[in-house]
Structure 1
Amino acid sequence: MQGLLPFSLSIVPNEVKAQSPASYVNPFIGASTSTAQAGVYHGLGKTFPGATTPYGMVQVSPNTITGGDNGSGYSYEHESIEGFAFTQMSGIGWFGDLGNFLVMPTTGKLNTFSGKLANPEEGYRSRYTKSSEKASAGYYSVMLDKYKVKAEMTAAPHSGILRFTFPENKDSRIQIDLARRVGGTSTLQYVKVVDENTIQGWMKCTPDGGGWGNGDGHADYTVYFYAKFSKPLKSYGIWSANIPEGQSRKLEAVVSDDYQHLIATADVLPNVGEKEGKHLGFYTGFATRNNEQVLLKTGISFVSIEGAKNNLEAEIPDWDFNGVQQKAVKLWNDALSKATITGGTKDEKIVFYTALYHTMIDPRIVTDVDGTYNGGDNKPHKPTTFQKRTIFSGWDVFRSQMPLQTIINPTLVNDMINSLVTLADEKDKNYLERWELLNAYSGCMLGNPAVSMIADAYSKGIRNYDVDKAYKLSVGSVEKFGNGDLGYSYDGAGIALTLEYAYTDWCVGQMAKSLGKKDDYVKYNKRGQAYKNIFDPEKKWFRPRTKDGSWQAWPDSGRLTQWYGCFETNPYQQGWFVPQDVAGMVRLMGGNEAVKADLIHMFEKTPENMMWNDYYNHANEPVHQVPFLFNRIGYPWLTQKWTREITRRAYKNSVEGLVGNEDVGQMSAWYVLAAAGIHPICPGDTRQEITSPSFDKTVFKVAGGTFTIAAKNNSAKNIYIQSARLNGKPYNKCYIDYSQIVAGGYLELVMGPKPSQWGAKK
């Protein structure tokens, strides 16, 4: 942690201008993997600070590490940079992937391996001046101390451009590690010099090379590139490490001293213009004048080299770095204008727009500019009705991220459902997996979250996909992954599995009801009640059963026991997840007053900083609906109180500004919705809970025009709703229907310093 700036610092990327939403974005929020700061192995936000565009295929970003649970490849506290990659994952908490086409400007001796964080002088990585590091929407720059080179980068949707300002040096160079991959290595690469300014090729990334989940995520993809240099290729070459036959390519091997020695002693092949190999790099050398700028622009494709070339030529036909940056900023301003806020402090505005920004990285497009994508059958496809999208972090994003998109970006929701439905066709599957990455069925986490997304979209009238296939795949999913004949799950995370499966069974039932499938409705709605099968009336809480129906032994720490029938959580946190039947859950738990007391206890025992804990653990998704449960039991002012507390305590304008992993937009989407004053408990049900807005006014662009939530007399003390008017008429419900939001309208909430009976059940 030496050299780390204090995590309490507020990092503002540029001068904030009220007129420009993009100017509020601070990509450093959450950009740390530090377990020391988090106090738990999960680390912090794990976002990346580099340049990208809304839902773009390309992310040009600094990478500080290849090994460890560092999914974004970057951590703010690291003191050196190993290069700038063109693909990144955002906020994921497993061994990561992507981080491909790693570019580094260097001078002096050619090094063929990056070296390690502990001793960056050994390889081509460089220490950097932390104060020189700048990031904003669509732009990143840093000064590399070792080479005295300023590196700048910006992006277009399918391509990116780097601008390096070199010192005077006769041995300047740009080098590209073609084998590099965040969670391991690419297993095979190809590169060819096309002309005196251009190279092209590909990098094949298979599970044998680690990657997502160190291979357990089954990520298997090929990145194609087409790259042009502003300075002619007069002195160039390839390096090729001699990787022995049978050598492990998983992460633990790749980061080992022995493997690193193989890379460090790679054969350097001057003037070789074409090669295929297991561990390749490319370099081009040249003399530079002081402050001479050398640029590299690259198109990326997951389909073909021709696709990468077309992507680059369509988006960055010239060398106008500033022009590309300006277009990226415009794309961000247009995207971020889907939700605009009035009021709040400058830091709160930065937190809001950065949160919205983080919800607009995934699910990203993987179609080329001509609409072609690589399918699950490894063949090109060219749909006419949707854009193929990827990185569906289902278990996380069904809760807030996808519900947010149903409001501000329903086309994206249609795209994602189409992407999963067609993927099942392409892979001849009859179910939807829960975590998709570049066509890989990774099986990460648990439940059937794609079923939730589909049921939620369908209930909201978002139906531009093959509804029949989507329904059949939803049925196939809950039949393959479910509570079975026993009506509960008993292996390992029995509580978590039983509750999540019961919820998505209910989701299928709701869709069946709307489709007129009466028998299916009865069947799956009944299965949605399976949560009752694991409630122990003696312990007055959910408890895992064994296969024979007996209860598992109750631990000394009871429902606070981490991993007891749960996954990454404890029964106290997981047990509130019965979104499909809150009333039934409350009855089991002893009624409204008992539940109120228990929820208050949970929140009051939560640490002030809201970092990972045994009570309200906002760093982990299973509790994200919990603050809104007060609305359902007649105490909406407590929902108002605690959501305001969470938005204040768990989100900051600083590197540690996310208390847990960003999880591909989920953590940020929760903030966007809650800070605006709405949030669902149960995706698949169109009811949206109303809570205390953090801002004086939030305006969403919706299908019907705009929907405004205005908080009159709002302040840090006036957090309680006293009365409300919807479209000018008195409104006394603590919830609103999705249809009322997307139709457009105006919800005015009058705020005050004390709880009121507004919205309480009569």
Structure 2
Amino acid sequence: MAPFISLAQQPADYVNPFIGASTSTGAAGIYHGLGKTFPGAATPFGMVQLSPNTITGGDNGSGYSYEHTTIEGFAFTQMSGIGWYGDLGNFLVMPTTGPLQTVAGKPEHPEEGYRSTYAKEEEKASAGYYGVKLTEHNIKAEMTAAPHSGILRFTFPANQQSRIQIDLARRVGGTSVWQEVKVIDDHTIAGYMRCTPDGGGWGNGDGKANYTVYFYAQFSKPLRKSGVWSADIPDDWSRKREDIESDRYQQQIGKAAVLPGVKEKAGKHLGFYTEFATTANEKVLMKAGISFVSIDGAKANLQAEIKGWDFDGVQQHTTALWNQALGKIAIKGGTEEERKVFYSALYHTMIDPRQCADVDGKYMGGDGKVHTDKNFRRRTIFSGWDVFRSQMPLQTIINPAVVNDEINSLVTLADESGNHYLERWEILNAYSGCMIGNPAVSVITDAYAKGIRNFDVQKAYGFAKNTIEKFGNGSKGYSTGGLSVSLTLEYAYTEWCLGRLAGLLNKREDAQTYTARGANYRNVFDSSKAWFRPRNDDGSWQAWPEEGRMRQGYGTIESSPYQQGWFVPQDVPGMITLMGGKEKVLADLTAFFDKAPENMMWNDYYNHANEPVHHVPFLFNYLGTPWLTQKWTRDICARAYHNSVEGLVGNEDVGQMSAWYVLVASGLHPVCPGSNRYEITSPVFDAITLKLDPTYAKGKQFSIVARNNSATNRYIQKAWLNGKPYKYAHIDHADIASGGTLLLEMGATPNKDWGIE
């Protein structure tokens, strides 16, 4: 029998969207910054995220950082937890009073623009809601979201010149390059913002993001005094992120032509405003549908989701959506802090991959044409290098349909675009090429192996094979250059994945070829140094630095060879042998964790702030010391995750950092996605129940019960699976999908006989 799970509150009540909502490099101690989440309103995997924006430029992908003291406005689209120069942040709405200002202004002088100071103590956020008091004009701003639309409620002071203004040019990492707006009737406007690499955005244009956001917006007060502002941007001006941030550009926006009464306008830098008189505490609302396809799509999205002006009703419905989504995992026990960290983490794993099709299924394809998804939901924002490790494996258990959608989305994109290979970091059809490896091959293999197969399998396999051949270790069997170690190890893993998929599909020759290539990690191991080392094109080793394997960036990306070198998930026993055997590796690995700082922030040892090491705590299970996996995962959960703005030690990375916690706090985590094996570790909670999807799983739910569990009693003494003694420190996906209960007896000291093979 599964345990009875009860909480004093609903799951959504435990969500704190402010966790990780800082980009501060000072607090992080590294240029990557902290969590970079946004605190605004969203729905599970929804297209709209209605959130405050405090900054337009810099490496601020979420557009918001908690320590900032002013707000520019509230945008309808955001990205969660990404590094690099961000994107989206479109359709920026701001309530103001007094004379119209056409430029946001600088944070140190908010009075010179439409941005405003705000009362930090009155800033509130929950799952599906955000509210704040803007102090410059004494306006309360509240917002909630539906999947394709959002609604804002502004409480104004008494003023003869109150206003809602919308900056149509605004974009987090630059600017939209062309906008059009039209007044449809006395309550409605519609239009679009075109965003291309010329306007910066993802990677300041290097990420190739190219999309158009269409809007259909309505106001609760009639448009009796409205107009447009238009800045004259010379044709020969560059419009990348640094150009937009320049004084020259900002001054040009500040002297934009204000055109009262204009009903229709197109241009390079437009805004729209509507003015009206308000009485004290008068509420004025605005709602909008968003589409990446058409104005008609945006209109249909709004009309389907927010028919009237019932702000509270929309919020209640959104909260219900979150309770349903977060209810996929029920927990018992833990502290109040741990419950808040857990459900906030689960919440952050359900932002992406988001829907990008309209309510009628229409989406913009990779060929620039409109398509209709018939058997799946088109999704976007696939941060592959991050999410193949924990985020997608978590969804294979609790949201397998989302994984199936994502695979369909990547495969159809490869088809529509004519590229015929799978992108590693996709945003709105863009092949951004961000980071390394072939993570989509891992995700497809992992899903297929776990019975998620509602996609064109043969086409997916063909594109996966094309991907491996286009980006791989090639005829040398290793990669060279500045990322030699990272590339070789990552490519070897995904080549193994393709071999595994080929085997499952009975493609025997390919299975043999690519499985063998999975051993290519050995080709960058220098036995004279007893560690991995980058190679040159001629096969020679690159010069060994004074710091040796500790040198950050020595043949590696965002890591050192010491950190990256543990990444041989497809052949951990072979890696251990190569490194000198169990005793040597155990000593090395123990030091790797012992030397990590207490706060788990960015460091040269176990660096939980970044992805390359996220599987490493579970290697102790392979070394015959599973109690050390149990010790260290409980330590990381306690030291690297907190119910605070600085509660994530590194970038959230589109769900990856949080998914790690959700899985580990539940007592499970894979080392090698593509294999069906999960490592068992010490759960944070007394009982966890994972609800299973009957389309993909035989069982209804799978529970992990930790008897006699506490912060002290973190070591597994014995285990039973469905009432039968269980001696392994790992479990197969089939056992989870079949449903049942894994019972763990916990104690204060390690049982060094359990889980040893």
Amino acid at match of 1:714: N
The question of 1:261 aligning with 2:251 is answered yes
The question of 1:188 aligning with 2:183 is answered no
Q: Distance in 1 between matches of 2:39 and 2:245?
A: 24
Partner of 1:723: 718
1:526 shift after superposition = 1.1
Map of 1:540-555 to 2, 5 A cutoff?
Answer: 540-555=530-545
Kindly indicate whether the alpha-carbon contact (under 8 Å) linking 2:227 and 2:274 is maintained by their aligned counterparts in 1.
yes
Partner of 1:612: 602
Partner of 2:150: 160
Equivalent residue in structure 1 for 2:30, among 26, 33, 40: 40
Q: Distance in 2 between matches of 1:565 and 1:672?
A: 32
Q: Distance in 2 between matches of 1:111 and 1:430?
A: 48
Partner of 2:330: 340
Q: Between 208-217 and 115-124, report the one with greater CA deviation.
A: 115-124
How big is the alpha-carbon RMSD for the aligned residues of Structure 1 and Structure 2?
Answer: 0.8
1:758 shift after superposition = 4.4
Partner of 1:733: 728
Kindly indicate whether the alpha-carbon contact (under 8 Å) linking 1:192 and 1:275 is maintained by their aligned counterparts in 2.
yes
1:743 shift after superposition = 1.3
Partner of 1:753: 748
Kindly indicate whether the alpha-carbon contact (under 8 Å) linking 1:17 and 1:23 is maintained by their aligned counterparts in 2.
no
The question of 1:687 aligning with 2:682 is answered no
Amino acid at match of 2:628: L
Kindly indicate whether the alpha-carbon contact (under 8 Å) linking 1:85 and 1:103 is maintained by their aligned counterparts in 2.
yes
1:246 shift after superposition = 1.6
Give unpaired runs (5+ residues) of structure 1. 1-15
Equivalent residue in structure 2 for 1:652, among 633, 639, 642: 642
Q: Between 205-214 and 379-388, report the one with greater CA deviation.
A: 379-388
1:33 shift after superposition = 0.1
Deviations 1:488-532 (A, max 9, x none): 111211100000000000000001111111111111111110000
Amino acid at match of 1:719: R
Q: Distance in 1 between matches of 2:162 and 2:738?
A: 59
Q: Distance in 2 between matches of 1:298 and 1:323?
A: 16
Amino acid at match of 1:280: L
1:17 shift after superposition = 7.0
Partner of 2:659: 669
Kindly indicate whether the alpha-carbon contact (under 8 Å) linking 2:626 and 2:756 is maintained by their aligned counterparts in 1.
no
Map of 1:694-713 to 2, 5 A cutoff?
Answer: 694-702=684-692, 703=697, 704-713=699-708
Partner of 2:55: 65
The question of 1:121 aligning with 2:111 is answered yes
1:465 shift after superposition = 0.1
Kindly indicate whether the alpha-carbon contact (under 8 Å) linking 1:733 and 1:758 is maintained by their aligned counterparts in 2.
no
Q: Distance in 2 between matches of 1:532 and 1:669?
A: 30
Amino acid at match of 2:387: V
1:19 shift after superposition = 3.1
Partner of 1:744: 739
Map of 1:195-214 to 2, 5 A cutoff?
Answer: 195-214=185-204
Amino acid at match of 1:524: Y
Deviations 1:701-757 (A, max 9, x none): 013101000100000100000000000110000000011111111000000000112
Kindly indicate whether the alpha-carbon contact (under 8 Å) linking 1:71 and 1:89 is maintained by their aligned counterparts in 2.
yes
Deviations 1:267-287 (A, max 9, x none): 000000001100000000000
Partner of 2:354: 364
Q: Distance in 1 between matches of 2:108 and 2:442?
A: 45
Partner of 1:382: 372
The question of 1:489 aligning with 2:484 is answered no
Partner of 2:80: 90
1:239 shift after superposition = 0.2
State the number of aligned residues. Answer: 747
Equivalent residue in structure 2 for 1:324, among 314, 318, 335: 314
Amino acid at match of 1:493: L
Percent of matched pairs sharing the same residue: 69
SS at match of 1:528: helix
Partner of 1:11: none
Q: Distance in 1 between matches of 2:754 and 2:557?
A: 35
Kindly indicate whether the alpha-carbon contact (under 8 Å) linking 2:717 and 2:754 is maintained by their aligned counterparts in 1.
no
The question of 1:411 aligning with 2:401 is answered yes
The question of 1:517 aligning with 2:507 is answered yes
Q: Distance in 1 between matches of 2:574 and 2:506?
A: 25
Kindly indicate whether the alpha-carbon contact (under 8 Å) linking 2:40 and 2:51 is maintained by their aligned counterparts in 1.
yes
Map of 1:71-110 to 2, 5 A cutoff?
Answer: 71-110=61-100
Amino acid at match of 1:711: A
Q: Distance in 2 between matches of 1:574 and 1:397?
A: 17
Deviations 1:578-606 (A, max 9, x none): 00000100000111111111110000000
Kindly indicate whether the alpha-carbon contact (under 8 Å) linking 2:478 and 2:488 is maintained by their aligned counterparts in 1.
yes
Partner of 2:126: 136
Partner of 2:429: 439
SS at match of 2:502: helix
- Runs of 4+ aligned structure 1 residues displaced above 3 Å come to none
The question of 1:308 aligning with 2:303 is answered no
Give unpaired runs (5+ residues) of structure 2. 1-5
Amino acid at match of 2:691: K
Partner of 2:709: 714
Kindly indicate whether the alpha-carbon contact (under 8 Å) linking 2:198 and 2:239 is maintained by their aligned counterparts in 1.
yes
SS at match of 2:272: strand
Q: Distance in 1 between matches of 2:120 and 2:755?
A: 51
1:18 shift after superposition = 2.4
1:633 shift after superposition = 1.2
Q: Distance in 1 between matches of 2:484 and 2:306?
A: 52
Q: Distance in 2 between matches of 1:439 and 1:507?
A: 24
Q: Distance in 2 between matches of 1:375 and 1:43?
A: 33
Deviations 1:235-258 (A, max 9, x none): 000000000012111000001000
Q: Distance in 2 between matches of 1:438 and 1:430?
A: 17
Amino acid at match of 2:79: M
Q: Distance in 1 between matches of 2:641 and 2:632?
A: 14
Amino acid at match of 1:578: V
Amino acid at match of 2:737: V
Deviations 1:444-494 (A, max 9, x none): 000000000001001111100000011011100010000111111112111
Partner of 1:3: none
Amino acid at match of 2:239: R
Amino acid at match of 1:423: L
SS at match of 1:529: helix
Check 1:161–1:17 CA distance in 2 against 1; reply closer, same or farther (3 A cut). farther
Q: Distance in 2 between matches of 1:761 and 1:165?
A: 63
1:119 shift after superposition = 1.8
Deviations 1:33-77 (A, max 9, x none): 000000010000000000000000000000000010000000000
1:759 shift after superposition = 3.6
1:648 shift after superposition = 0.3
Kindly indicate whether the alpha-carbon contact (under 8 Å) linking 1:734 and 1:758 is maintained by their aligned counterparts in 2.
no
1:383 shift after superposition = 2.0
1:384 shift after superposition = 1.2
TM superposition score normalised by structure 2: 0.98
Partner of 2:3: none
Amino acid at match of 1:227: A
Q: Distance in 1 between matches of 2:420 and 2:63?
A: 34
Amino acid at match of 1:713: N
The question of 1:451 aligning with 2:441 is answered yes
SS at match of 1:483: coil
Q: Distance in 2 between matches of 1:71 and 1:151?
A: 22
Deviations 1:202-255 (A, max 9, x none): 000000000000000000000000000000000000000000012111000001
SS at match of 2:275: strand
Amino acid at match of 2:316: Q
1:143 shift after superposition = 0.2
Kindly indicate whether the alpha-carbon contact (under 8 Å) linking 1:721 and 1:758 is maintained by their aligned counterparts in 2.
no
Kindly indicate whether the alpha-carbon contact (under 8 Å) linking 1:732 and 1:758 is maintained by their aligned counterparts in 2.
no
Partner of 2:217: 227
Equivalent residue in structure 2 for 1:243, among 220, 233, 250: 233
